[in-house]
Amino acid sequence: MGDCTAIRPVANWPRGSEAFDMMAVLRELFPITRSLTGYGVRQTLAVLQRFLPITIHEVATGTQVFDWTVPKEWNLRSATIRDSRGRTLVDAKDNNLHVLGYSCPVTGTVSRDELAAHIHTLPDQPDAIPYRTSYYVEQWGFCLPDALWKTMHDESYHVDIDSDLSDGSLTYGEFFIPGDTQAEILISVHICHPSLANDNLSGIVVAMGLALECLRQPSRRLGLRFLFLPATIGAITWLARNEAALSKISHGLVLTCIGDTGPFHYKRSNTGSGIDRAVEHVLAHGTIPYQMMDFSPYGYDERQYNSPGINLPVGCFMRAVHGTFTQYHTSLDNCDFVKAGALEESLRTLSAVICVLENDRVFCRADGRGEPQLGRRGLYRATAGQKEAGGVSQMDLLWVLNQSDGTRSLLDIAERANVPFERLYAASRLCADADLLTEVLS
Ligand code: ZN
């Protein structure tokens, strides 16, 4: 399929870099104690830098970004609850979800009643540890299985959270693949969740896979900008620091929860745009069930990219939808919940979406009026209905030649003909090679 599958090594990259295995990297990243800020985010980006020369940005605590302020940096060294006999019942070393994210330091003996005000459990899922944070209200807390909490009947417990909450910086990563034009596609993933596999890590590793795949292609029309940032405040920080260049973003996707085996879900951008059409077209011609969702101002960072005064055409690509699956924001969202085959399906689908955006061109006929004689140009090799080499049918050629009037793009024609974009793209290449089409540059 032309440029879409043209895989050619790039001279200078990646030379000597490790082979990238999405599932292996996901497992490596899983135990890291990530949060909105701090060393877990830096360590995560350092792992990714082994494969891709991601630029790391540090933005100081207190920096004003639109209506928000970059918060204090949080780092956790240890957290435990011990009973009156000194036995450790809860230890963040076993699972970093045990600590309320952004807990301030605390140490001492507290009554069970006092401790209860700082305990988070899920009575409906008694064996799961919930994921909870308190970024903007300073407090401390522990998250544990409800089944464990129900066995804790001592009068007092010793709690110890050894953390730093102090001036530092917010960290995010950025990687840009330039195109021949100024226009860019934005791919954004959040990197602030600790040991959660689908919500967070699946988006990170698929974005990495996509970046590495696009790097191997010989040239691009559209630039590709990848952002690895903490949710909400990270996206707001990036937007505030790049406001002057936002008009270059012609399409964008937030990727999250794309490692489970459920159907795809795509949440449209606020204003409706080419990215929405490209995703829906690819999903409609794929084999995996999918559901389209209209924009709403809740969810992941698409709400920042689609916020007033920003209005970027950015949708959200998911499989499982936040808040609707039992593993969501619990210790059940682990490496077993994510499947290598599901990550690969997500990568292939996103790669096809990028291919549509990259190759959705407008052509007009170069050969005059009427239907051209295809046989004379070597384009009538097959009986009507049979496929030419590359999967192009006679009908595909006729659709492209009939509809290319200088106003309709290949995606317009693919939608009208109800055939996969890549077939009309391949047909357009055959026609252009036969001097039947010329591209109309906007
Ligand atoms: Zn989440």
pLDDT tens digit sequence for 336-368: 999 999 999 999 999 999 999 999 999 999 988
On the question of pLDDT at 133 being above 60, the answer is yes
Indicate if the pLDDT at residue 189 is higher than 90. yes
Give distance in angstroms: CA of 322 to centre of ligand 1: 7
> What's the CA-to-centroid distance between 13 and ligand 1, angstroms?
33
Q: What is the percent of the chain where pLDDT is above 70?
A: 94
Residues 6 or more apart whose Cβ sits within 8 Å of residue 402 = 371
Q: How far is the CA of 43 from the centre of ligand 1 (A)?
A: 19
pLDDT at 1: 32
Measured between alpha carbons, how far is 191 from 94 in angstroms, rounded to an integer?
A: 21
Q: Which band of pLDDT confidence, cut at 50, 70 and 90, is reported for residue 388?
A: low
CA of 192 to the centre of ligand 1 (A): 9
CA of 34 from ligand 1 middle (Å) equals: 12
Hey, what CATH topology would domain 73-165 get? Glucose Oxidase; domain 1 (3.50.30)
Cα 199 to middle of ligand 1, angstroms: 5
Ligand 1 center from residue 190 Cα (angstroms): 9
What does the pLDDT average to over 376-398?
73
Query: How large is the average pLDDT for residues 299-315?
Result: 97
Give yes or no for a contact between 170 and 236, defined as CB atoms under 8 angstroms apart.
no
Instruction: Kindly give the distance from the C-alpha atom of residue 310 to the centroid of ligand 1, in angstroms, as a whole number.
Output: 23
Whether residue 384 is predicted with pLDDT greater than 60 in this model: the reply is no
How many angstroms does the Cα of residue 291 sit away from the middle of ligand 1?
20
Q: Which of 5-14, 53-62, 197-206, 225-234 shows the lowest per-residue confidence on average (mean pLDDT)? A: 5-14
Tell me, what's the pLDDT at 389? 56
Q: Ligand 1 centre and the CA of 44: distance in Å? A: 17
- In sequence order, what are the residues at sequence separation of 6 or more whose Cβ sits closer than 8 angstroms to the Cβ of residue 61? 70, 71, 72, 73, 166, 167, 168, 169, 170
Q: What is the pLDDT of residue 188?
A: 98
Separation of CA 64 and ligand 1 centre (Å): 24
Report the CATH fold assignment for 4-70+169-359: Aminopeptidase (3.40.630)
pLDDT score of 409 more than 50: yes
Rounded CA separation 329/192 (Å): 12
Which fold, 362-439? Arc Repressor Mutant, subunit A (1.10.10)
Which tens digits make up the pLDDT trace of 199-221? 999 999 999 999 999 999 888 99
Q: What is the pLDDT of residue 314?
A: 98
pLDDT higher than threshold 50 for residue 4: no
CATH 3.40.630.10 in the chain, residues?
4-70+169-359
Q: What angle do CA 68, 249, 254 make, to 5 degrees?
A: 65
Contacts of 97 (CB under 8 A, 6+ apart): 129, 130, 131, 143, 194, 195, 196, 330, 331
Helix axes 340-359, 421-433, angle to 10 degrees: 40
Taking the centre of ligand 1 as the mean of its atom positions, its distance from the CA of residue 107, in whole angstroms, is 29
| pLDDT at 386 > cutoff 60 | no
- Least confident stretch, 6-10, 73-77, 397-401, 434-438: 6-10
Question: From ligand 1's centre to the CA of 37, what distance in Å?
Answer: 15
Quick check: helix, strand or coil at residue 196?
coil
Instruction: State the pLDDT confidence band at 102, using cuts at 50, 70 and 90.
Output: very high
Distance 327 CA to ligand 1 centre (A): 11
Average confidence (pLDDT) over 306-333 = 97
- The rounded Å distance from CA 231 to ligand 1 centre is 9
- pLDDT score for 16: 42
Decide if pLDDT at 63 tops 60: yes
CA of 193 to the centre of ligand 1 (A): 7
For residues 167 and 384, the model is more confident at 167
d(CA 107, CA 127): 26
Q: Where in the chain is the domain with CATH 1.10.10.10?
A: 362-439
**What phi, psi does 109 have (nearest 5°)?**
-100, 130
**Is the pLDDT at 8 greater than 70, yes or no?**
no
Structure tokens at 335: 């490496």
Give span(s): CATH 3.50.30.90, the chain. Answer: 73-165
pLDDT computed for residue 238 by the predictor? 98
Q: Which helix H or strand E contains 410, and what residues bound it?
A: helix 410-417
Task: Give me the chain's average pLDDT, please.
Answer: 93
CA of 319 to the centre of ligand 1 (A): 14
